Chains A and B, each alone.
Chain A
Amino acid sequence: MAHGHKIELKQEFFSGNKKATKFSLILIVLGLLLTIIGIATAPKTHPSNEGASSEEHHHVAADNNTPRLNYYGDHQVNHPLPPPIPEDAGAHKPWYSRVYANILTNSYFFVLVSCLALFFWALQYIANAGWTTVFKRVIESVVAFLPIASIILILILIIGKSDLYHWAHYEHEALKPGEPGYDKILSGKSWFLNSSFFIGGIIIIPLVWFLIGKKLSSLSVREDAEGGLTPFKKSIRWSAAFTVFFIFSISVLSWLVIMSVDAHWYSTIFSVYNFATGFVAALCAITLIVLYLKSIGHLNLVTDEHIHDLGKFIFAFSIFWGYIWISQFLLIWYAHIPEEVYYYQVRLMDQWKPYFYINIVINFVIPFFVLMTRDAKRNPKLLGWIAVILLFGHWIDVYLMVMPGTIGSLAQFGMLEIGMLLLFTGTFIYLTLLSLTKRALVPINHPYLEESAHHDVGV
């Protein structure tokens, strides 16, 4: 890395890799197989109501032995406190809502990964950052999964709305004040939590992201073909517009899709939390693909220095995630207001307890201690494994946000869950690699390319 040392900026192409394609196809087939077996063997009756068909129980209160109660709704005000056990969200749900909830978890997770990759891309432009230029195409390829993941998300939300969301089911019942089961809080939220707003939101928001992503991508194509500074300057403008729209829209999307899962609960930091989860996952996905391409002899301009900085980003944003996590937990734990504390109470009970701790250990403790040293961040193998673990950890995070409030005791971690995750992961890898073959790997006319190639982190 001596001064003035010339690095030849050579164009590279990725024409696909048989092994990787095979790997992704195996994942898809295996995932599909496991999903089908999982669906076939899933218990078709509710665990607490053995022998009765779930349809009949749709509107009948669960007769569990444990007294479960709900803080909300006029009919339950007189229950003795504490220690109340929050109502089981899965008590009246049909068995296939577990399939829906799984599709929701996975599609939302991959929407987060790809839209935050797009955000990272835009961030490079507005921050005038140069160092990422050598692997810019990788960032672009991660965004390629956005439309597919969004369409799946939109479809599952439209189809499974009433089975997943308490409020949607409640809206469907259309109760009047005074009727049994009338819930003042949920009725009070109908200005936001209603089907038309919900469906409109989940369609429009990803659509706008997709369109701006498409614009940035076409500017990138133009830059490759024509050169010059015009595409670069235009990209900065579009990135600024995207960033502003994004920080508002990701909040709305996280409220609509995930916070409304626990419809009575609310937390103002929730959107920031979703952002943090998605951002770490997106960084890990980008890092993994960079490391993979490098291991098969591509991306020759990417050096240890770039890997080191990616490692720093993962390290820093894992700490950021931990910070946001503790902010939410500590404040809710400390104030101990029943409406809020209920969220963590559920997650610290029964089957959810292990996930609660796994979430913190994987997403904060492991990256914090492992990636602390400089050597760890410059070790591709170690960093790759950490990225895999973190991707799984943030998937668990989303899983833990979705499951207790949608299907509660119906949830299990079985073949269905694993299969669905493999299926989505396989598709993600397949499409990402496919999109990488469509473009040159080096943005050869990017004004920061040379600077990026000479990137050196110093001490």
Chain B
Amino acid sequence: MNDKKLSLRNNKKVLFGIFEDGDSALEATQTVFNRGVNIIDCYSPYPIHGMEKAMGLKRSRLPIGAFVCAMTGLSLAIILQAGIMYFDWPMIIGGKPYAGIPSWIPVMFELSILCTAFGIAILFFARSGMIHGKIANEIIDPRQTSDRIVLAMSLDEAGINTDELVKLLSDKGAVEIRQRVNLDNNEFEDNVIK
């Protein structure tokens, strides 16, 4: 996908529409998206139902990763138990056969779950670029994790002029609109338009 292109850094000019509630943010996103504006992202304190569709995002492929992790865990459990109980030191315990498959099932199950849970969490953090202690540098408004929704749009190739976009956003209920210009030395300038 074009995640890379659509980041706050890689666009010269970015417009932010700040909303108070999810419904108007969603409506604005749908309208703006249909007008062909490049939406960089939408930051919200809670998952807005339908927002990913409005932004044209695809469903995550992480479940495939989860399945791979589960199969890894399962294989690990089989190798571990067969290796120990059948190959390395076979012993008859309680009259059970060396390869007492039914009594391997609990550990097979647990290790599959363990690998899936840790695997999917690690994959999620890696895919989202999350790491302990990382400074959140995409905080446009400190209230975006509490009670504001920030819609970020690229102005570089917008098929709509800025004034029209600003009007559209304020019609849809934006309480604040800001423009950001990215400068060369990793700095930027924010201007409040409304």
Contact = CB atoms under 8 A, between A and B. Distances in A.
Q: Is any CB of A less than 8 Å from a CB of B in the complex?
A: yes
B7 to A, nearest CB: 24
A334 B50 contact: no
A459 B59 contact: yes
B49 A458 contact: yes
A334 B63 contact: no
Interface string A1-20: 11100000000000000000
A324 to B, nearest CB: 14
B50 A1 contact: yes
Contacts, number: 27
B119 to A, nearest CB: 16
Interface residues of B, number: 15
Given A326-B105, A330-B102, A334-B102, A2 B63 contact: no
A329 B103 CA distance: 11
A66 interface: no
B50 A329 contact: no
B23 interface: yes
B105 A373 contact: no
A333 B100 CA distance: 10
Interface residues of A, number: 15
Contact of A372 (B59, B67, B96): B67
B105 A2 contact: no
Interface string A368-381: 00001110000000
Nearest to A326: B105
Nearest to A329: B102
A3 B50 contact: yes
A172 interface: no
Interface string B93-105: 0111000001101
Interface string B76-108: 000000000000000000111000001101000
A336 interface: yes
Contacts of A2: 30, 50
Nearest to A332: B102
Q: Which of B49, B96, B105 has the most CB of A within 10 A?
A: B49
B14 interface: no
A245 to B, nearest CB: 35
Nearest to B59: A459
A101 B63 CA distance: 46
Contacts of A1: 50
Contacts of A3: 23, 26-27, 49-50
Nearest to A458: B49
Given A3-B23, A372-B67, A326 B50 contact: no
B70 to A, nearest CB: 10
Given A3-B26, A458-B49, A373 B63 contact: yes
A336 B95 contact: yes
Contacts of B102: 326, 329-330, 333-334
Interface of B: 23, 26-27, 30, 49-50, 59, 63, 67, 94-96, 102-103, 105
Given A1-B50, A3-B27, 10 more contacts: A3-B26, A326-B105, A330-B103, A330-B105, A334-B96, A373-B63, A374-B63, A456-B49, A458-B49, A459-B59
27 contacts: A1-B50, A2-B30, A2-B50, A3-B23, A3-B26, A3-B27, A3-B49, A3-B50, A326-B102, A326-B105, A329-B102, A330-B102, A330-B103, A330-B105, A333-B102, A334-B94, A334-B96, A334-B102, A334-B103, A336-B95, A372-B67, A373-B63, A374-B59, A374-B63, A456-B49, A458-B49, A459-B59
